[in-house]
Structure 1
Amino acid sequence: MITVKNAKSYLEEKIGEDVNDIKKVWETFKDFCKEPVEGEEDKEILFQCGVYDFTGEELFHFDFVRQFTVYEEDEYSHMEQLHCEFLFKPTDELRNFETTEWSMNYDDIDDFLNHIVTLQEFKTPLELKPIKTEIYQEEI
């Protein structure tokens, strides 16, 4: 079974060498979102994008996230987020895109995923080549 500790390596293995192929990563990520993770009560999936200068340089961040709530002995411990993030040089068009969409705001995970693919904020970057791709997991 997938655990929070092995979620990143599990997803990376599923993606394989196609880490810069946004469409393939998205398809793999969608499947991963439906798989159970040990101890997970609710699936918390996030799609977010926008131009930010988190690194000191303005970049367009295009990010698929699965969030995990971690419990130890039935007590809340912390949250972790597993990111599939694509970075782009901001263009005038990309500067117009900023969104944060959580799966918890939809009836089910399929409704959420089907909605995401209709967004222009999602469609446009799919056709571009990222300057960097990162898959990472962090405690928040």
Structure 2
Amino acid sequence: MITVKNAESYLKNKIGKDTDDMKTVWETFKAFCKEPVEREEDKEILFQCGVYDFTGEELFHLDFVRQFTIYEEDEYSRMEQLHCEFLFKPTDELRRLEIGEWSMDYDDIDDFFNEIENLKEFKIPLSLEPIKIEIYQEEI
């Protein structure tokens, strides 16, 4: 079974060498989001994008996120997020795109995925070449 501790390495292994192909990463990420993770109560999936200077350089970030709420002995402990983040040089078109959409706002995860795939915030970057992809897990 997938655990929060091994989720990052599990996803990286599933994606393999196709990290430059955003559509392949998205399809793999969607499949991963449907897999159970040990002690996970709810699926918490986020799609977000926008132009930010988190790295000291202004870049367009497109981020697929699976969030894990961790309990220890039935007490809330912390949250961790597993990111599949694509970075692009910002263009005028990308600067107009910004969104954060959570799966918990939908009755069904497939409805969430379908909605994301129909957003211009998803479709426009899909046709572009990212300068970098980062897959990482962090405590928030």
Is the shorter-chain TM-score for this pair beyond 0.5, marking a shared fold? yes
Aligned residues with identical type, % of pairs: 81
- Give 1:108 deviation, angstroms: 1.2
- Give 1:20 deviation, angstroms: 1.1
Query: In the aligned structure 1, how far is the partner of 2:57 from the partner of 2:5?
Result: 31
Unmatched runs of 5 consecutive residues or more in structure 2? none
TM-score (norm 2): 0.99
Q: Name the structure 1 match of 2:66.
A: 66
Give per-residue Cα distances to partners, 1:9-36, cap 9 Å, x unaligned: 0000000000111000000000001000
**Following superposition of structure 1 onto structure 2, how do residues 1-140 of structure 1 map, counting pairs within 5 Å?**
1-140=1-140
Q: Which amino acid aligns with 2:55?
A: T
- Give 1:73 deviation, angstroms: 1.0
Unmatched runs of 5 consecutive residues or more in structure 1? none
Q: CA RMSD in A?
A: 0.4
Give 3-state SS (helix, strand or coil) of 2:70's partner.
Answer: strand
Give per-residue Cα distances to partners, 1:30-80, cap 9 Å, x unaligned: 000100000000000000000001111100000000000011111110000
Q: Which amino acid aligns with 1:48?
A: Q
Query: In the aligned structure 2, how far is the partner of 1:38 from the partner of 1:75?
Result: 16
Give 3-state SS (helix, strand or coil) of 1:68's partner.
Answer: strand
- Give 1:109 deviation, angstroms: 0.5
Q: Which amino acid aligns with 1:53?
A: D
Query: In the aligned structure 2, how far is the partner of 1:20 from the partner of 1:100?
Result: 23
Give 3-state SS (helix, strand or coil) of 2:137's partner.
Answer: strand
Query: In the aligned structure 2, how far is the partner of 1:55 from the partner of 1:42?
Result: 31
Q: Which amino acid aligns with 2:128?
A: L
- Give 1:106 deviation, angstroms: 0.6
